[in-house]
């Protein structure tokens, strides 16, 4: 183009397979899926462990650290296909780095048919992030994590909208959230001058008279989940009961006659095949978890399918821009767009440097991982999950149209979207970065045939000897509460013991409590974790706010098709 709207690119933004490849791989997948899972032969494995973690991302690393503290004598092994851990979705450049606490994300507070703002989901998301803050704080005390400024930084979260209808919604949202102590300190303003104090770059060059509004939550954070993962694994590697194998690709998963699991993996550097037996197997390989779950042959996996959607961001590291914006600014999704798809203008600290990201913009590849195979999607199709996939494709056609529209966006279109938030943005300051893949969960449903599931889901065998984590958002920022939920599901008996209870409550002091109903506990948790995490912006005063619970739904919340990017 010659209009100055060209944007530099880092990596491909689209990929595809041809029709012959797709049909051939789908047919092969059907044949493989039809084969029964049989117990492994009786010959000894190369190694036997108590826990095997497949995948070197934030989820496996969190579970590894947690189980090591609960049972320090357990032998734990981690397998990672790539040459190091945290190179896929956990990597700081492959996600938005938001410490998701519903301070700014408007999709967590829908408006019902009677005009009320429903905050129950926002409260749940915020409660989960408080668990993460406590978990990280404990790991700093224990010496597992070093220098909190290397992985978490105070970054105010803001919602920013324009147009009379959206302004009215945001004002009602602010009023509704004031009922919860978890959202204390949030400010609302319609005043352009006040908003300019918060985010000057977003106001400079904006059309005079435009009706705008914003909320400002100073307790927000930016988190580098890749750095957390690397520090977790670095600690685990120093422990004699832990072993990490990189460049190790799982090729087979079979149940042994004694109920344990035998995993066969290929050493991609040496070209040799190895086996390992484990009492408990966790499949935490991000987008690759579905394929591994199917490989295990457990019937619980038959209910699931996946559909990959990627995301790209516009990035600038120009100091003149990066040093003048300190916020994660979320807008409201336009009519017809998935609520979770709304772009945001984010301050990030990556590789020790402050940068600004804007996005995400949806991309498509048949890969389930950024470093995956173009055959990931077709190879995941089985006789059991093809009907749920087709039903979701029909019922969620709005998402298909949205994705098609995103794929057709030009550089000029992306720049125009950026200028809605940053009016004076120049193309030469920005480059396009391809982030990670997000595999949307499709689950078989007795009534509808198949439904698209948001969030994450733990899928485990009946005997709890194997579990897989599927799904995307809110993902990494709630790794700690998700892994605690996994303990409740697959280690319920041990979690009920006094020994585990005492340790878990030492790791997460509020475990089992509801912060939203206890303002004093919220204040204590904020103060304690804020100090240990060295957050530069102090937590707001809660004052004499009475304990609050979300009110019962007063109206129907209109259903909108959604997906995680």
pLDDT band at 160 (very low <50, low <70, confident <90, very high): very high
Query: What confidence tens digit (pLDDT) does each residue in 303-332 have?
Result: 999 999 999 999 999 999 999 999 999 999
- The reported pLDDT for the residue numbered 280 is 99
CA pair distance 40, 96, nearest whole angstrom:
42
DSSP state of 183: G
**pLDDT(541) > 50:** yes
Backbone angles phi, psi at 493, to 5 degrees: -65, -45
Q: Are 185 and 549 in contact (CB under 8 A)?
A: no
Backbone angles phi, psi at 498, to 5 degrees: -55, -35
Q: What is the mean pLDDT of residues 378-405?
A: 93
Name the residue range of residue 344's domain: 1-36+310-452
Between 236-250, 252-266, 455-469, 542-556, the lowest mean confidence (pLDDT) is in 542-556
CA pair distance 135, 123, nearest whole angstrom:
19
CA pair distance 22, 30, nearest whole angstrom:
12
Query: Within a domain: residue 209?
Result: no
**pLDDT(16) > 90:** no
CA pair distance 459, 300, nearest whole angstrom:
7
Backbone angles phi, psi at 292, to 5 degrees: -70, -40
- The CA-CA-CA angle for residues 329, 330, 335, to 5°, reads 150
- The reported pLDDT for the residue numbered 147 is 95
pLDDT band at 334 (very low <50, low <70, confident <90, very high): confident
Query: What confidence tens digit (pLDDT) does each residue in 21-34 have?
Result: 433 444 444 433 44
Instruction: Give 3-state DSSP helix, strand, coil % of the chain, rounded to 5.
Output: 35, 25, 40
Q: Are 293 and 409 in contact (CB under 8 A)?
A: no
CA pair distance 151, 100, nearest whole angstrom:
15
- The reported pLDDT for the residue numbered 45 is 77
- The reported pLDDT for the residue numbered 165 is 95
Q: What is the mean pLDDT of residues 100-125?
A: 94
Between 12-16, 205-209, 253-257, 315-319, the lowest mean confidence (pLDDT) is in 12-16
CA pair distance 129, 107, nearest whole angstrom:
17
Query: Within a domain: residue 129?
Result: no
Between 90-99, 199-208, 292-301, the lowest mean confidence (pLDDT) is in 90-99
Query: What confidence tens digit (pLDDT) does each residue in 113-144 have?
Result: 889 999 999 999 999 999 999 999 999 999 99
Which of 485, 488, 393, 478 is CA-nearest to residue 442?
A: 393
Query: Within a domain: residue 22?
Result: yes
Which of 284, 293, 289 is CA-nearest to residue 253?
A: 293
**Percent of the chain topping pLDDT 90:** 81
Q: Could you give the maximum distance between any two Cα atoms of the chain, in Å?
A: 77
- What number of H helices and E strands is found in the chain? 17, 20
Q: Are 368 and 288 in contact (CB under 8 A)?
A: yes
Q: What is the mean pLDDT of residues 240-266?
A: 98
pLDDT band at 555 (very low <50, low <70, confident <90, very high): confident
**pLDDT(463) > 50:** yes
* 3-state SS string for 131-172: HHHHHHHHHHHCCCCCCHHHCEEECCEEEEEECHHHHHHHHH
**DSSP string for residues in 50-99:** EEEEE--SHHHHHHHHHHHHH-TTS-EEEE-SSSSSS-STTSGGGS--B-
Query: Within a domain: residue 500?
Result: no
Query: Within a domain: residue 373?
Result: yes
Number of domains the chain contains: 1
Query: Within a domain: residue 276?
Result: no
CA pair distance 290, 471, nearest whole angstrom:
9
**pLDDT(186) > 80:** yes
Query: What confidence tens digit (pLDDT) does each residue in 357-387 have?
Result: 999 999 999 999 999 999 999 999 999 999 9
Query: What confidence tens digit (pLDDT) does each residue in 198-227 have?
Result: 999 999 999 999 999 999 999 999 999 999
CA pair distance 121, 125, nearest whole angstrom:
6
3-state secondary structure of 213: strand
- The reported pLDDT for the residue numbered 306 is 96
Q: What is the mean pLDDT of residues 255-273?
A: 97
- When the pLDDT of each residue in the chain is averaged and rounded to a whole number, the result is 90
Query: Within a domain: residue 385?
Result: yes
**pLDDT(109) > 70:** yes
* Those residues with Cβ within 8 angstroms of residue 188's Cβ, 6 or more apart along the chain or in another chain: 170, 171, 174, 213, 214, 215, 216
| CA dist 378 → 18, 27, 367 (Å) | 11, 9, 9
pLDDT band at 338 (very low <50, low <70, confident <90, very high): confident
Q: Pick 329 or 339 by higher pLDDT.
A: 329
Query: Within a domain: residue 266?
Result: no
The number of angstroms, rounded, from the C-alpha of 253 to the middle of its chain's C-alpha atoms is: 26
Q: What is the mean pLDDT of residues 240-255?
A: 98
**Percent of the chain topping pLDDT 70:** 88
**pLDDT(545) > 80:** no
Q: What is the mean pLDDT of residues 471-483?
A: 90
- The CA-CA-CA angle for residues 459, 460, 461, to 5°, reads 140
Q: What is the mean pLDDT of residues 326-351?
A: 86
**pLDDT(269) > 50:** yes
């Amino acid at each position: 183009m010659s209009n100055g709207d060209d944007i530099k690119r880092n990596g491909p933004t689209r990929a595809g397979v041809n029709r012959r490849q797709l049909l051939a791989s789908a047919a092969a997948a059907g044949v493989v899926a039809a084969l029964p899972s049989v117990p492994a032969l009786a010959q000894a494995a190369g190694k036997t462990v108590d826990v095997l973690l497949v995948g070197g991302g934030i989820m496996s690393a969190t579970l590894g650290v947690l189980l090591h503290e609960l049972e320090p004598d357990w032998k734990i092994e981690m397998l990672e296909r790539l040459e190091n851990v945290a190179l896929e979705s956990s990597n700081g450049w492959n996600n938005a780095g938001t410490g998701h606490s519903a301070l700014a994300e408007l999709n967590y507070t829908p408006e019902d048919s009677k005009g009320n703002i429903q905050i129950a989901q926002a409260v749940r998301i915020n409660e989960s992030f408080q668990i993460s803050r406590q978990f990280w704080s404990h790991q700093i005390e224990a010496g597992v994590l070093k220098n909190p400024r290397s992985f978490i930084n105070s970054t105010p979260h803001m919602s920013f909208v324009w147009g009379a209808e959206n302004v009215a919604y945001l004002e009602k949202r602010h009023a509704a959230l004031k009922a919860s102590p978890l959202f204390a300190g949030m400010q609302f303003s319609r005043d352009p001058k006040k908003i300019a104090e918060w985010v000057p770059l977003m106001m400079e060059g904006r059309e005079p008279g435009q009706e705008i509004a914003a909320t400002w939550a100073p307790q927000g954070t930016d988190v580098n989940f890749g750095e957390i993962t690397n520090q977790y694994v670095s600690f685990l590697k120093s422990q004699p009961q832990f072993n990490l194998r990189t460049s190790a690709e799982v090729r087979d998963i079979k149940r042994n006659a004694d109920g344990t699991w035998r995993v066969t993996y290929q050493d991609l550097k040496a070209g040799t095949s190895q086996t390992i037996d484990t009492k408990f197997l966790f499949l935490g390989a991000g987008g690759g978890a579905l394929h591994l779950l199917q490989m295990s042959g457990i019937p619980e996996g038959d209910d699931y399918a996946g559909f990959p959607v990627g995301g790209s961001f516009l990035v600038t590291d120009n100091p003149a821009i990066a040093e003048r914006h300190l916020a994660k600014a979320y807008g409201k999704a336009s009519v017809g767009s998935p609520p979770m798809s709304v772009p945001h203008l984010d301050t990030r600290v990556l590789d020790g440097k402050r940068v600004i990201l804007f996005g995400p913009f949806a991309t498509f590849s048949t890969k389930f991982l950024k470093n995956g195979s173009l055959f990931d999607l077709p190879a995941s199709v089985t006789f059991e999950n093809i009907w749920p996939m087709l039903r979701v494709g029909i019922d969620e056609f709005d998402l298909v149209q949205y994705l098609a529209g995103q794929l057709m966006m030009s550089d000029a279109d992306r720049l125009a979207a950026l200028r809605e938030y940053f009016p004076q943005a120049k193309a030469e300051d920005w480059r396009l970065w391809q982030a990670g893949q997000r595999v949307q969960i499709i689950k078989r449903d007795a009534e509808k045939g198949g439904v698209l599931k948001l969030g994450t889901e733990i899928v485990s065998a009946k005997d709890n000897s194997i579990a897989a984590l599927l799904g995307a958002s809110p993902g990494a920022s709630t790794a700690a509460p998700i892994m605690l939920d996994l303990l409740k599901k697959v280690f319920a008996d041990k979690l009920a013991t006094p020994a585990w209870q005492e340790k878990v409550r030492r790791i997460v002091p509020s475990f089992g409590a509801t912060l939203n109903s206890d303002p004093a506990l919220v204040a204590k948790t904020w103060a304690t974790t804020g100090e240990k995490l060295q957050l530069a912006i102090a937590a707001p005063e809660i004052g004499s706010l009475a304990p609050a619970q979300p009110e019962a739904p007063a109206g129907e919340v209109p259903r909108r098709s959604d997906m995680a990017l």
